[in-house]
Amino acid sequence: MASPLDDDELASDDYYSLLNVRREATQEELKAAYRRLCMLYHPDKHRDPELKRQAEHLFNLVHEAYEVLSDPQARAIYDIYGKRGLDVEGWEVVERKRTPAEIREEYERLQREREERRLQQRTNPKGTISVGIDATDLFDRYEEDYEDMVGGGVPHVEINKMHISQSIEAPLTTKDTAILSGSLSTHNGNGGGTINLALRRVTSAKGWGEVELGAGDSHGPFLGMKIFRNLTPRFFVTAQCGLQFSSRGVRPGFTTVLARHLDKNTMGYLQWRWGIQSSMNTSIVRDTKSSHFTFAMQLGIPHTFMMMSYQYKFQDEDQTKIKGSVKSGFFGTVVEYGAERKISRHSVLGATVSVGVPQGVSLKIKLNRASQTYFFPIHLTDQLLPSAVFYATVGPLVFYLAMQQLIIRPYVRAQKEQELEKQRESSASDIAKKKQEAEAAVLLMQESVRRIIEAEESRMGLIILNAWYGKFVTDNSRKHERAKVIDVTVPLQCLVKDSKLILTEATKSGLPGFYDPCVGEEKSLKVLYQFRGVMHQVLSGDTESLRIPKQSHRIDADT
């Protein structure tokens, strides 16, 4: 499904920016802006053939923007999905007296029809690779036992278990999906595998059902069924039953989960399992923007435990999270702590230290790459050794910092530069066209600007002395980077009315006489102006609103 208006479309076809009006602008405000630009760009005002041609092109752009924004239905579509939303086939049959909510619904219906036509080509592959490492020889060995052995001075680290699983989804119809999955496992030289086929059908907007068939060399054939149902908007239930066939006979199993939204951020779960490893489990999960909390209790055979975990989410671009948990039961007590961080657009790296009795100390490293998961549990010692805890904590941190500096950051920086270069290349023709339009607009503004300046000078009003738009760089930067700023003095002066200049919250690259000089990079507008004979200066972000003159922009004579 298409998403709402994105940044690239805002930069190139923002009708609000072109007319320099608020997104909440009334019909009167739209008319006033339209008339003003029509007077500026009307072809009949220009005798020179080239200027007349350029004026006609800009006049048509302004007219197109006004036609869309003055039509309530077209404006509602544009506000939600941008210019491309207006190009979706099917709008001609939609009743024109629709609210924005109804229009959004209709747009999504049309988009769903397009998605259904491409449904057969989709799959959703998911996979997990887990490699268990036994590194207890690093901490539990006795040096004197190895002194007389060849190579005895080198600790022995081995891979003692592996698990590989993969699944794909194949949509059969808009309601039916086939899911094929398989796994291979090995532990200390013994291994096995399973293969499963599930058929899922969406029965209604409130639920779905699934039938599963499986086979494996360790457990035998399996037949199961699963049902999900929303009972109310805040309450749902999942039920699963199965038959496991083996040399010992048929072993039935049944699992049901009841879940309820306790509030906007909190879920409560109650699970009952009968059959193999029967148990009763209850849990509360609270997930907010800054934290994730889980509390769970289970009574069962053979596992009875109580667990509590907390995760804090930093509000940074790397989506850093730190977490800690404690789990205690008949098996003993385990304390875990760790962190995870986004290292690229599609990759998240995490490390967790597990300290328990009688489990010992382990380090778990996980890498999520898109829909693939790579998991490396490293068992360090069966005892509670401070040295093992220290190295399990400090080692990954030092390794990550080194990788961050030497590999990750240079790689991400190179990727960003590559994507930015591709974006520049793909938009080069469009930017060249926008540049020509901007230069033509500046030529057409000359006469109007002259009259505006004369009127402002007569009343000691607002005079734009200099204005620049683009990416501002320091004096230490390379010379070619300074070309990323363009002069927009004339376009800004043309927008001055009654000694005031008002720019709305929209990218300024869409204003008449502007264009984007540095695609994909952060831009600003710097203005040096005179009001009542006093110098003023302001630096404004690309999408920030701007109102001048202001007392806070005044340049003090002492500075």
Give the helix/strand (H/E) hosting 394.
Answer: helix 386-403
How many residues does the structure list for the chain? 559
**Alpha helix (H) residue ranges in 42-86:** 49-70, 72-85
Pairing of strands 222-232, 332-344: unpaired
Alpha-carbon dihedral angle through residues 336, 342, 348, 350, given to the nearest 10 degrees: -20
Summarize the confidence of residues 42-66 as an average pLDDT. 81
Token pair belonging to 438: 């901007």
Q: Output the pLDDT for position 471.
A: 86
pTM of the model: 0.61
Q: Reply yes or no: is the peptide bond before residue 517 cis, omega within 30 of 0.
A: no
What type of residue sits at position 6? D
Sign of the dihedral defined by the CA atoms of residues 40, 44, 47, 49, in that order: positive
Delimit the domains of the chain by residue range: 11-85, 123-138+157-277, 288-384, 426-553
Q: Reply yes or no: is the peptide bond before residue 302 cis, omega within 30 of 0.
A: yes
Provide the terminal-to-terminal Cα distance of the chain, rounded to the nearest Å: 55
Does residue 142 have a pLDDT over 80? Answer: no
CATH 1.10.287.110 fits 11-85, yes or no: yes
Give the helix/strand (H/E) hosting 415.
Answer: helix 409-426
Same fold, 11-85 and 123-138+157-277: no
Distance CA 10, CA 27 (A): 21
The answer to whether the beta carbons of residues 20 and 503 sit under 8 Å apart is yes
* DSSP class per residue in 423-465: HHHHTHHHHHHHHHHHHHHHHHHHHHHHHHHHHHHHTT-EEEE
Alpha-carbon dihedral angle through residues 19, 22, 24, 27, given to the nearest 10 degrees: -40
Q: Which of 75-79, 120-124, 199-203, 255-259 is least confident?
A: 120-124
The answer to whether the beta carbons of residues 269 and 258 sit under 8 Å apart is yes
Q: Output the pLDDT for position 5.
A: 41
What tens digit of pLDDT does each residue of 83-99 get? 766 665 544 434 444 55
**DSSP-derived 3-state class of residue 412:** helix
Does residue 57 have a pLDDT over 90? Answer: no
Distance CA 338, CA 321 (A): 9
CATH 2.60.40.1120 fits 123-138+157-277, yes or no: no
